[in-house]
Structure 1
């Protein structure tokens, strides 16, 4: 699944942004304060981050990173503060306005899929819901995370030496002691979300849990 073109990615990303807008529209305002799966961020914060990254061009990314003294966490925090509206309704309108954008930081196209799926679940799961994502898109995202360092937003150190085996798709990533479960759960755990460890089984789960702790 290498060589993914950006043109293959955007239709999925746009559809997932719109699906998230539809999910959030009836959400009561107080529920936007719910802690997300993304440690330290509320649902509202994650949505603001999605707005910020949807608007981030290559130039804006480089300028913003320099302004943040090359600290990715600081850059993300500034983006959340910039795009988080005074009310959830304002932030939701901002998300709605960027659903069709094709701006991207200087990163592989697969990062847009990682963001759409992982942050989509960061929002939905704490609110008692899950999204429905195209298996091919999730597979591409998982393969990208498995080969990319944690320091660059990936999950290689989490899953290296393990075989990630989807039980709902014909997908195996890596080799070693098996970790089995739903494809989306494998992506989320590879991305550092411990919340989905209970969805997994196999002899590699103990090691995976140790690494994530």
Structure 2
């Protein structure tokens, strides 16, 4: 039996559906709310999440080449272009339709879809003031994947000299003044979201915030 292309696919599918359920409750003007991704609206983030099961590797590579190697810029442009074409209702249907599809973009890791849905769900929910809990059992493997990953900026190196401590499960990373929070909050910091969006505490928070700003 072949290995799944998407790690923890049933859990990833459940998180995609939970996000779709939350988005069903949005009012029209909330779709233009700025997300935690700078320059991305809630509508843009949803469009990005539907791309992860639809874009081809060749198409992604071509966009990156057109962006002169800037992956983040290429992804942001693709999300905005898709959001301009598809209204939220259509994108929500697409998210549900492929929630359990065992597919990911070439060159990505089997763990990237899990990170993608957990982090982007909070990119949407927190600015809207909505609650969408991140299960610790999912946040921990996502953190373990991100922590030393060059694609995510090697958080272990960027936060060297700080000790990240999960308060809702047994996960610790690094050594030094502590930054404490739920595993989902630490995952947000590890993927570059601001301290103010996570609600973490501890003597290392100020230094963590400074490093994220720089």
Question: Shorter chain as normaliser: what TM range?
Answer: 0.7 to 0.9
> What's the counterpart of residue 143 of structure 2?
142
* SS at structure 2 position matched to 1:164: strand
1:170 match: 170
Q: How many Å separate the matches in 1 of 2:5 and 2:172?
A: 24
User: Offset at 1:78?
Assistant: 3.4
Find the aligned partners of 1:198 and 1:49 in 2 and give their Cα distance.
22
RMSD: 2.3
TM-score, normalised to structure 2, is: 0.86
In 1: Cα distance, 2:74 partner to 2:66 partner:
8
1:144-165 deviation digits (Å, cap 9, x = unpaired): 222123xx23452542332110
Q: Which residue of 1 aligns with 2:109?
A: 108
**Paired residue for 2:123?**
122
How many pairs are equivalent? 208
DSSP-derived class of the 1:93 partner:
helix
Structure 1 residue 193, shift from structure 2 partner: 1.3
Contact 2:186 2:198 (C-alpha < 8 Å) held by counterparts = no
- Distance in 2, Cα, partners of 1:25 & 1:136: 26
1:211 aligned onto 2:211: yes
Change (3 A) 1:113 1:36: same
Provide the residue aligned with 1:75 in structure 2.
Answer: 74
Q: In 2, distance between residues paired with 1:164 and 1:123?
A: 24
Q: Distance in 2 between matches of 1:103 and 1:8?
A: 10
